[in-house]
Amino acid sequence: MEKRESFNSKWGFILACIGSAVGMGNLWMFPTRVSLYGGGSFLIPYFIFVALIGSTGVIGEMCLGRGTRSGPIDAFGAACETRGRRKLGDALGFIPAAGSLAMAIGYTVVMGWILKYAIGAFTGATLAPADTDGFASAFGSMASAFGNNGWQLAALFFCILILMFGVGSGIENANKLMMPVFFILFVFLGIYVAFQPGAMQGYRYIFRIDPEILADPKTWIFALGQAFFSLSLAGSGTVVYGSYLKSDVDVVSSAKYVAFFDTAAALLAGLVIIPAVFSFGMAPNSGPGLLFITIPAVIRDIPLGRVFAIIFFLAVLFALSLIHISEPTRRS
């Protein structure tokens, strides 16, 4: 039997899983939902669900992948085969694989946006607008129909190029480099934003607790959905990554680190974006604008802003980590 490739180290696997989990759910959905559902009133159920899911579902998916050494179709098939229901398992495994494909189609658009902004950081185009209205106009033009098709194709080629290097040399090394850069950069941006006028109003907005909102079932439902999406659960990513995990790696410990750093990334994003929104006079629930309008506006005023813009958008490009969706879902 041909030897299956694996991650070279425990932390390589953890960083790859963090890269899979950290994405648009953290960078714009999390700040938006914190804004919409009462700040701290949303954070309380969110933390509870992250702890529950991280200590159960994430561990389960990692173990399922490692135990079967395959993606979701073969993994669910092998699990159901123990009860003589192989075809049922294959059908169940197809559901997360199909869901990942659907997400990949949507994320391809976002990856094209990110790549365009990353290249624009090199050329100066990303930071060229003079004010937030200029950034909003540039984003609106890019997000229009057929406004970014070439960049989407280029982003797909970029992911394929990483995949050609395999798990250890490609995915693992890319996340080992860009995930620490991502966290360091967001810590710096958080410190910078803290000293901007109006930032304190943003912090109060994040951590306020409204008992009425906390008691609303809708707050808990959206917190649960955010936790599932943020931890990349019920997709194919964690199962596939687990299939490349060495047998001597502590899965429970790995899952705890993934849940912790994913939550830290979401909080960092919120602590950067929401105070910046108040500082620049934008609506805190402005969705994609938080990433493509607010952050460039913040970075533009920083010394060596172009350098930070380059690092930021490259880090976000890796943080999306959709490359796991392109992994085969059948055992090779």
Contact between 282 and 119 under an 8 Å Cβ cutoff? The reply is no
Domain-embedded: residue 52: yes
Residue 244's nearest CA partner among 74, 71, 78 is: 71
Q: Which residue has the tokens 């540039």?
A: 138
Alpha carbon distance, N-terminus to C-terminus of the chain: 10
Q: Please give the residue range of the domain that contains residue 220.
A: 22-58+104-233+248-325
Asked if residue 79 belongs to a domain, the reply is: no
Residue 120 lies in a domain: yes
Between 65 and 178, the more confident residue is: 65
| Model pLDDT for residues 109-130, shown as the tens digit of each residue | 888 888 888 888 888 888 888 8
d(CA 98, CA 107): 14
213 part of a folded domain: yes
Residue 71 lies in a domain: no
Mean per-residue pLDDT, 296-303: 80
Helices (H), the chain: 10-21, 24, 30-36, 40-54, 57-68, 72-81, 86-123, 132-142, 149-163, 166, 173-194, 199-207, 211-214, 217-230, 237-243, 251-279, 289, 295-300, 305-320
Is 205 among the domain residues? yes
Residue 4 counted as domain residue: no
- Three-state DSSP state, 38: coil
Is 221 part of any domain? Answer: yes
What's the mean pLDDT in 208-215? 90
Q: Which two structure tokens, joined as six digits, stand for 142?
A: 């890019």
User: What does the pLDDT read at residue 325?
Assistant: 40
Q: What's the structural domain count of the chain?
A: 1
Q: Is the pLDDT of residue 94 over 50?
A: yes
Q: What is the mean pLDDT of the chain?
A: 79
